Amino acid sequence: MLVLALDTATPAVTAGIVEVAPDRADATATLAVRVTRDARKHGELLMPEALAACAEAGVALADIDAVVVGTGPGPFTGLRVGMVTAAALGDALDVPVHGVCSLDAIAAEALDAGGPLLVVTDARRREVYWAAYSGGVQITGPHVEAPAALVARIPELGAVAAAGACAAGTGLRVVAPEAPGPAGLVACAVDALRAGVRPGPLEPLYLRRPDAVAPGPRKPVGTG
């Protein structure tokens, strides 16, 4: 099974091809990885990166059996690019599209933390997105709050290491990766992929309202 993995929840625009063996629970192989870091060009870069990943893996887009996409948390505009692209590809290719938490994907690829792990990414507005994991399982999150508030929680969480682009701000030992990768994205959906589960609608994890708001009614113009 060939899986196209996409993520635009962080400044990293990620696309890759992962092969999933249907008969071995531990058998996956990353055939191609394309990552470009530019928070302002998700829309311009994602589809070219997906096509480049296919070319690098030696497969055609029509050969893809499923799509996995990060559903955040992430800024509204960037996150929407990845999810809309994934949904459009799924519709065009008639393949399932599985959404996974982007923080879970980072945790899935994180080096052995030796204990509970925090995954922390940039939420802008002087805030971070974060979730905590133990044994690879999410135990709380995802949340969005100020870095100082997260640091104050660390003793109760018992975290010993952190991953993600904002990991250094926790004061914990930092482990890779900084952003979701194809292997981690697919790892979060591999059981459903192998079982042939038809996923439900994609649900974005914005965690807060978008900056853009609908304009209010026009004020009446005085005639006096």
Give per-residue pLDDT as tens, 2-27.
Answer: 999 999 999 999 999 999 997 766 67
State whether 126 and 95 are in the same domain: no
State whether 127 and 160 are in the same domain: yes
State whether 22 and 116 are in the same domain: no
pLDDT at 224: 47
State whether 168 and 185 are in the same domain: no
State whether 66 and 91 are in the same domain: yes
pLDDT at 208: 76
The number of domains in the chain is: 2
Catalogue the E-assigned strands of the chain: 2-7, 12-20, 28-37, 66-70, 97-100, 117-124, 127-134, 137-145, 161-163, 173-174
Give per-residue pLDDT as tens, 122-141.
Answer: 999 999 999 999 988 999 99
State whether 88 and 170 are in the same domain: no
Give per-residue pLDDT as tens, 179-211.
Answer: 999 999 999 999 999 999 999 999 999 997 654
State whether 89 and 187 are in the same domain: yes
41 is in which domain, residue-wise?
A: 2-101+181-195
Residue 206 lies in a domain: no
Q: If pLDDT is split at 50, 70 and 90, which confidence band does 114 have?
A: confident
